[in-house]
Chain A
Amino acid sequence: MVYFLGILISLSVGFLLIRLLSANRLNLILHILLGLAVGLGIVGTTAFYAQILFNQFNRFLPVGVVVLLASYLFKKGDTLKCPLFVPTHAWGLLALGVLAIPLTITALHFPLGGWDAWSCWNLKAKFIFLGEENWKDVLSPGLWRSNTHYPLLWPLINVWFWDLGGRFDQAVPMLNSILIALLTAGILLFGILELTGKLMNSILVTVLVTALPFGVTLLISQYSDSLLALYLLSAFMCLLLAEKYKLPKLKILSMVFLGLMSFTKNEGLIAAGIAALLIFWHERSHKKELRPLIIAFFITLLPTIIFTLFFAPKNEAFINGLTSTEKPTDWARLSVILTYPWFEFISNKWNFFWLLALAGILLARKKLWQSTLGVIGLTLVLYLGVVMGYYAVNTFFEISWWLQTTLSRILFALLPTIALWLALGLE
Chain B
Amino acid sequence: MQKLKSFFFICLVLVAGFNLYRAYTQAINQLQDRTSIPLHSLGFQFMGLENVFKGVRTVGYYTDKDLSNSLAIAQFEQAQYMLAPTVLDLNPSTQYHWVIVDCTSLQAAKEAIQRMGLTPLKFNHGIILAFNPHGV
Contact surface of A with B, Cβ cutoff 8 Å: 98, 101-102, 105-106, 109-112, 115, 118-119, 122-123, 126-127, 130-132, 134-135, 137-138, 140, 142-143, 145-146, 204-205, 207-208, 211-213, 216, 351-353, 356, 359-360, 363, 426
Within 8 A of A (CB), among B16-75: 16-20, 22-24, 26-28, 30-31, 34, 37, 39-40, 43, 57-58, 73-74
Q: Can you list 7 residue pairs at the A/B interface with Cβ under 8 Å? A: A102-B23, A112-B43, A112-B81, A126-B81, A137-B87, A138-B85, A351-B15
Bound-state CA distance A268–B129 (Å) is: 41
Asked if B13 and A204 sit within 8 Å, CB to CB, the answer is: yes
Asked if A119 and B27 sit within 8 Å, CB to CB, the answer is: no
Counting CB contacts under 8 A, is B108 at the interface?
Answer: no
Least distance between B123 CB and chain A CB atoms (Å): 25
Asked if B84 and A126 sit within 8 Å, CB to CB, the answer is: yes
Bound-state CA distance A146–B13 (Å) is: 40
Chain A contacts of B5 at CB under 8 A?
A: 363, 426
Counting CB contacts under 8 A, is B12 at the interface?
Answer: yes
Asked if B4 and A363 sit within 8 Å, CB to CB, the answer is: yes
Chain B contacts of A110 at CB under 8 A?
A: 37, 40
Contact surface of B with A, Cβ cutoff 8 Å: 1, 4-5, 8, 11-13, 15-20, 22-24, 26-28, 30-31, 34, 37, 39-40, 43, 57-58, 73-74, 77-78, 80-81, 84-85, 87-90
Picked from A111, A134, A359, the residue with its CB within 8 Å of the CB of B57 is: A134
Bound-state CA distance A111–B4 (Å) is: 44
Picked from A134, A204, A213, the residue with its CB within 8 Å of the CB of B26 is: A213
Interface SS of B by simple majority: helix
Least distance between A80 CB and chain B CB atoms (Å): 39
Chain A contacts of B77 at CB under 8 A?
A: 115, 118-119, 123, 145-146
Given contact pairs A126-B84, A216-B26, A137 touches B16 in the complex (Cβ within 8 A): no
Asked if A207 and B16 sit within 8 Å, CB to CB, the answer is: yes
Asked if B81 and A118 sit within 8 Å, CB to CB, the answer is: yes
Bound-state CA distance A102–B23 (Å) is: 6
Least distance between B31 CB and chain A CB atoms (Å): 6
Picked from B28, B57, B78, the residue with its CB within 8 Å of the CB of A137 is: B57
Chain A contacts of B20 at CB under 8 A?
A: 98, 207, 211
Chain B contacts of A426 at CB under 8 A?
A: 5, 8
Bound-state CA distance A112–B40 (Å) is: 7
Picked from A140, A143, A353, the residue with its CB within 8 Å of the CB of B15 is: A353
Asked if A101 and B27 sit within 8 Å, CB to CB, the answer is: yes
Chain A contacts of B58 at CB under 8 A?
A: 140, 142
Asked if B22 and A213 sit within 8 Å, CB to CB, the answer is: yes
Chain B's closest residue to A124 (CB) is B84
Asked if B11 and A131 sit within 8 Å, CB to CB, the answer is: no
Asked if A208 and B19 sit within 8 Å, CB to CB, the answer is: yes
Bound-state CA distance A288–B86 (Å) is: 52
Asked if A216 and B23 sit within 8 Å, CB to CB, the answer is: yes
Asked if A102 and B80 sit within 8 Å, CB to CB, the answer is: no
Least distance between B130 CB and chain A CB atoms (Å): 19
